Structure 1
Amino acid sequence: MAPIGGGTFTVQNKILPGAYINFVSLGSAARLGTRGVVAFPLELNWGPENQVFSVTAEDFNKTAIDVFGYDPTAAPLLLVREALKRAKTLLAYRVNSGGVKASNTIGGMTVTAKWSGTRGNDIKVAILTNVDDATKVDVVTYLGAIEVDSQTVTASTGSANLKNNNFVTFGTAATLTPASATALTGGTNGTVDGTSYSAFLNAIEVETFNVIGYPGTDETIKALFAAFVKRLRYDNGEKIVGVLYQYDGDDMGLINVKNGVILADGTTITGDKAVAWVAGASAGAEVNESLTNVAYDGAVDVDIKYTKSQFEAAIQAGEFVFYADNGKARVLTDINSLVTFGEGVSEDWTSNRVVRVMDGWANDVARIFGENYIGTVTNSDTGRQLFKADLVSLAMQYQAIDAISNFESADITVEQGNGKRDVVVACALQPNDSMEKLYMTVTVN
């Protein structure tokens, strides 16, 4: 027979006889965070305005028309495709928001495009007498030659029963009169300037992502992005990475793309546009993965070729370069723009794989502490040992996937800081990198 008393306890003050048992999870909070989110500003002819919206690689083909107004293979979506070749999720922002929405009066009703932009001019709406019931009409919306919506309503009730769709909003009309397919007109894109990119950075700052890129050549905007990345990395502790075109950032958090590629269909992606693939690939790379020698998906050549000495100079200058290799374009070496060493900054930190390990560790520790310890666990020897157990478990996971080597539990210490609420952690990690250089001595007898 079980005792009458039982349950859990906070202090040893129970009255009834029984077994009071607490279960404490040791290290269950320690798990590697996920990667694969890239943030990108885009100039689009259609789509959500003045907001960050998410598109996954998995759903892109299915949602492209509804979200971007184009088939996923269309030329205007080139940068979206390049970013999603290796990223799992794209956080997009339309920097040319604020244009004019296309519109027209059709069958006595004003029809307006859902979003501003030139793509709205490719929308047509027809009001056709229903073949089965002459008192009704079919209101059909076309995007180019594709029918994207059709609704059947009673003509005499006007627009009362019409529902707005993914492409247009319907105005008020007492009755609907038949009209052939009529195009909306007057749609324009908004202007793009520094203010547009500042709005993007303000909006994206509150989102969670791994890498941010700017696919342009404006030096002022490049500097704006670089300052944004450094502020979030070093002031806010958010370990993000920025990708820019021909920008000498001299920072392990900034990747400096030098040239571009040529795709199999003949499309030339210049270096500034190749930022999309580099940003997506950098976000999609795991902490134990390097992009060195990785082939650019779908590329058959590079747009600018360099000599061996120019490649050497590029590496020394902290430039991310593509090289041609028998019908492919490959990453020469996965490096960032860091070129100045000393004062605790190692040359090893030029490797983006090493940076991913360090950033991943920082983000994972912050997440574990925030989700499981802040405000909930007492800053005692027991509480600190629980925290250390989580960190040791995390480190063992990093070591299991070859992200770090030679880890021992003693490499992490957790102590109380100066204040009763302060915790001080000392941690020694040895990040791994990928093989890149082979030095072989062959003795011939």
Structure 2
Amino acid sequence: MNGGTFTPGVEKERAGIYFRFHSAAQARTQMGERGTLALPIVMGWGEPKKFIEINSDEDITKKLSLDINDPSLLLLREARKKAKTVLLYRVNEGVKATGNLSTEDGESVKVTAVYGGSKGNDIIITVSTNVSDPSKKDVITFDSTKAIDKQIVADASELVENSLVTFDGTGQLTDTAGVRLASGMDGTPTNLDYTDFLAAAETEYFDAIALPVDSDEPIKTTFVSFIRRLRDQQGVKVIGVLPNSPADYEGIINVTNAAVLPDKELSIAETVAWVAGASAAAPMTQSLTFVVYDGAIDVNPRFDDDEVKERLKKGEFILTFDPRDKVASVEADINSFVSFTKEKDKRFRKNKIIRILDGINNDLTRELKSVIKELKDKGQDIPANDDGKQIINTLASVYMNELQDNKVISDFDPGNDIIITQNQDGDGFIINMGAKPIDSAEKFYFDMVIK
């Protein structure tokens, strides 16, 4: 099942759910669960080109073998100030640290870090004679001062890979107080590395995705196109956050100034991590406007009143410093959309409104999938007839009534606010729905096609 933007008169080739939104809403819904951020990061250790789900500090230690205060985890720390879950993706492979252990016959045994990166330079291998059996050696692998692995061997060929290093060589080892691995480097990720990140992200579930890169315009352009494709062609309603990118699109947040922490002045690209985490975590009833940036003591650059107004007109997401309270906060929770039309007016610039629309899209899609699966398990399908219309009508009515019962919307009338017709091919439905949020004077209409 797929979704996307529905255009009247244009049939979709792939069975799915399609939404078209028109300007008519004034508030948002609380339905749906949010809080997952996809984040690419340059790290000094860890498996590259793979998403790792981080929900706690314990996950960082267990899954990354790093401390939360590791300098390479700055972006993760900022993102987790708000995000419930971070899907961390190491974009850099780095260069693996290596070292050599000596043998009694004058040869050497090569020791190589399991992963590339500067953290490999903290690995130390010691070799000493085993107390119980002098013909054997105790080979201990340390992560700095912490012993991680101990092996007792008579010959180097018996050594096996552990969580930190691999061994390659044979012979009886000679004692050493410690061989520290060297030449491990983090490296610099390329455009291809970030393209791989986007390709991998396409099969993951997340609410927001960050691109903390400011100096590479081609990859920023690719990122914006990626978000457009997910939202408009596939119906995957996610938010993209990146620095200095006037994309003029409701699915892109354009961050243009940075937070200052007590011990570090962040770049705009680094600030993207917090903004993306906050956007992912924001419930559908809350705007991020005036939300305080956790731990920030200033912003850079600061903007005066005229500059703030001008930047907001350009669709920039900026932070403002309050000299009285000494805190930094979000000036306005807006996206980069500025080309307003009668059909898509200026309310589409508000991330709060977009979260409403995305939430309805995601929730109804989820519920429809549930019904389709339930019927499939019984060897049935939703029929493309009046019975099928009734199924869809019932599902949508239950959902909307739940919103109304929770005082999220009002004046919902399933008889007038849900209109279901068959599509041109006769194998699906077009559903027109209207909803009036509790603090809205208008209704927000959107279309769906069910095949």
Q: TM-score, normalised by structure 2?
A: 0.81
Q: Which moved more, 1:182-191 or 1:75-84?
A: 182-191
Shift of 1:146: 2.8
Structure ranking higher in strand proportion = 2
Secondary structure of 2:89's counterpart equals strand
Between the aligned partners of 1:431 and 1:169, the Cα distance in structure 2 is 60
> Which one of the candidate residues 394, 409, 414 is aligned to 1:389?
394
Between the aligned partners of 2:346 and 2:283, the Cα distance in structure 1 is 21
Task: Give the equivalent residue in structure 1 for 2:119.
Answer: 119
| Fraction of identical pairs, as percent | 35
Q: 1:32 to 1:132 in 2, by over 3 A?
A: farther
Structure 2 residue aligned with 1:140? 140
Q: Which amino acid aligns with 1:55?
A: E
Tell me by how many angstroms 1:287 deviates. 1.6
CA–CA distance in structure 2, aligned partners of residues 324 and 133 of structure 1:
67
Superposed, 1:269-288 pairs within 5 Å as 269-288=266-285
Distance 1:183 1:433 in 2: 64
Correspondences of 1:276-315 after superposition (within 5 Å): 276-315=273-312
| Pair 1:104-2:99 in alignment | yes
Please list the CA deviations of residues 130-184 of structure 1 after superposition, one character each: whole Å capped at 9, or x if unmatched.
445545543322222333x13242x325453x44332212335354443222111
- Contact kept, 8 Å, 1:358 with 1:431, in 2: the verdict is no
User: 1:412·1:426 contact (CA, 8 Å) conserved in 2?
Assistant: yes
Structure 2 CA distance, aligned partners of 1:243 and 1:403? 27
TM-align CA RMSD: 2.4
Q: Give me the whole-angstrom Cα distance separating, in 1, the residues matched to 2:439 and 2:110.
A: 61
Partner in structure 1 of residue 54 of structure 2: 56
Counterparts in 2 of 1:346 and 1:144: CA distance versus 1, 3 Å: same
Contact 2:260 2:299 in 1 (8 A): yes
Show the counterpart of 1:168: 165
Give the distance between the partners of 1:219 and 1:386, measured in 2 at CA. Answer: 47
Paired amino acid for 1:120:
G
2:396 aligned counterpart, secondary structure: helix
Kindly indicate whether the alpha-carbon contact (under 8 Å) linking 1:244 and 1:272 is maintained by their aligned counterparts in 2: yes
Number of the residue aligned with 1:241: 239
Offset of residue 294 of structure 1: 0.7
Q: Is the 8 A contact 2:368 2:395 kept in 1?
A: no
Alignment partners' CA distance in 2, 1:146 and 1:350: 51
Q: Which residue of 2 aligns with 1:78?
A: 74
Aligned to 2:316, what secondary structure does the other structure show?
coil
Q: Which residue of 2 aligns with 1:252?
A: 250
* 1:428 partner SS: strand
Structure 2 letter corresponding to 1:39: A
Structure 1 alignment gaps of length 5 or more: 1-30, 435-445
The residue that corresponds to 2:195 in the other structure is 198
Following the alignment from structure 1 to structure 2, what is the Cα–Cα distance between the partners of residues 88 and 47? 21
Q: How many residues align?
A: 396
Rg comparison, structure with higher value: 1
Distance 1:133 1:402, change over 3 A: farther
Aligned to 1:358: 357
Distance in 1 separating the partners of 2:32 and 2:393 = 18
Q: Do the aligned partners of 1:52 and 1:91 also contact (CA within 8 Å) in 2?
A: no
1:258 and 1:332 map into 2 onto residues whose CA distance is 12
The alpha-carbon deviation at position 239 of structure 1 amounts to 0.9
| Residues 81 and 398 of structure 1, relative CA distance in 2, 3 Å threshold | farther
Q: CA deviation at 1:32?
A: 4.7
